[in-house]
Structure 1
């Protein structure tokens, strides 16, 4: 199980990777566009901001297999420990197959169904990313889809791992992590929500007050 940050916010990556056990950073064209930077400039900044040698994921914008492969090979040279994200359709699966032969690690993204996931995995993808909230919006059964994907991978492609994406609330995140061998990538806002609980601060304040009442100060 791993937790990734789904963001291009360098300041947040630096802060949260220092505070939390973050395995890496995922991006997509929308996230990159929000940064205002080109990939060649953004990816090295993400690498520098990470408090580890964690994985960095970046997505192609090409749509034909030949162009996807060419773009993926260029992206793969920009930083180390890089995973190329490829939307899973016919052309995407073809590109994943070819990149597997080139030794380039890939993640099959824009996963809405278990059949997409298994084709991506069999083609050689190292990861698949089901879109949790979008599946819930369409069918209401995102976690069932993740469970189905996990079941299929356990039989047919054990080296391929699930990274749930597209979350809107912490409940979805925890439900996804409850599926065996699933990881998640979450936006910065959810990372904060998962750890910021006023009840915890209330408990800490009560401990401090009880200590001070007995010993006079917060010292041993």
Structure 2
């Protein structure tokens, strides 16, 4: 099981990375924009992460056609090492299949239904990122759907990287269903590292030791 930091904000990444609880960093164009960055800033972000010891980095292609996605992927692969994220559209499936055939590590992202994940598995795509919280926002059973996908995939090489997570409870439920990997934003990461009851217990321990 692995946890990743879903952010491009250097201050957030640096703080969370120091906990040594995370195995890498995931990004996409929306996350970059929130941090005031653009696709052209990815090489510098990658360099900084590498210097900090981050060994696993996910970066997403841009474009809506297979051709433009593959052109974008070529630029991303020059970063090396990088896992290329490709959206689960018809053009994206085609681009992902080409990239996998060329030896790239690929994650199919923006997955909203288990059927998309099953296609990815059968195409040999190494990873799928279902948007758990956004599924739920759209009226679909996010946790249940991803749990169903994990059951269907089983021990196949394709791994689920659960994304768009809104709570630690969702993580616990998905982990119990066998989901192996999670990428979390700042709020959920902090909730994992700073549980209120744990902090209260620590205060009690400190008070007892001082007495």
Same-fold status (TM-score > 0.5):
yes
2:72 — aligned with what?
71
Deviation, structure 1 residue 148: 2.0
2:171 — aligned with what?
173
Deviation, structure 1 residue 145: 1.3
2:3 — aligned with what?
3
Kept in 2, the 8 Å contact 1:68–1:95? The answer is: yes
2:109 — aligned with what?
109
2:108 and 2:19 map into 1 onto residues whose CA distance is: 29
1:93 and 1:10 map into 2 onto residues whose CA distance is: 31
Deviation, structure 1 residue 64: 0.9
After TM superposition, list the pairs within 5 Å mapping 1:86-125 onto structure 2: 86-125=86-125
Q: 1:201 aligns with which of 194, 199, 202?
A: 199
* TM-score w.r.t. length of structure 2: 0.90
Which stretch shows the higher mean deviation, 164-173 or 124-133? Answer: 164-173
1:187 — aligned with what?
185
Q: Are residues 113 and 191 of structure 1, via their aligned partners in 2, closer, same or farther at CA, if it must alter by over 3 Å?
A: same
State the secondary structure of the residue aligned to 1:139: coil
1:198 and 1:154 map into 2 onto residues whose CA distance is: 35
2:21 — aligned with what?
21
Q: Alpha-carbon deviations, 1:146-205, whole Å to 9, x = none?
A: 1221122227xx111001111222222222222214211110111112222333233223
2:141 and 2:147 map into 1 onto residues whose CA distance is: 10
Structure 1 unaligned blocks of 5 or more: 214-220
Kept in 2, the 8 Å contact 1:135–1:141? The answer is: yes
Kept in 2, the 8 Å contact 1:2–1:183? The answer is: yes
2:34 — aligned with what?
34
1:55 — aligned with what?
56
Kept in 2, the 8 Å contact 1:7–1:188? The answer is: yes
How many residue pairs end up in the alignment? 210
Deviation, structure 1 residue 47: 4.8
1:216 — aligned with what?
none
2:103 and 2:44 map into 1 onto residues whose CA distance is: 21
2:128 — aligned with what?
128
Kept in 2, the 8 Å contact 1:130–1:163? The answer is: yes
Q: Are residues 181 and 173 of structure 1, via their aligned partners in 2, closer, same or farther at CA, if it must alter by over 3 Å?
A: closer
1:206 and 1:172 map into 2 onto residues whose CA distance is: 29
Q: Greater CA radius of gyration, 1 or 2?
A: 1
Q: Alpha-carbon deviations, 1:22-75, whole Å to 9, x = none?
A: 111111111111223333433443453465343111111211112211211111
Kept in 2, the 8 Å contact 1:163–1:184? The answer is: yes
Deviation, structure 1 residue 140: 4.2
Q: Are residues 208 and 55 of structure 1, via their aligned partners in 2, closer, same or farther at CA, if it must alter by over 3 Å?
A: same
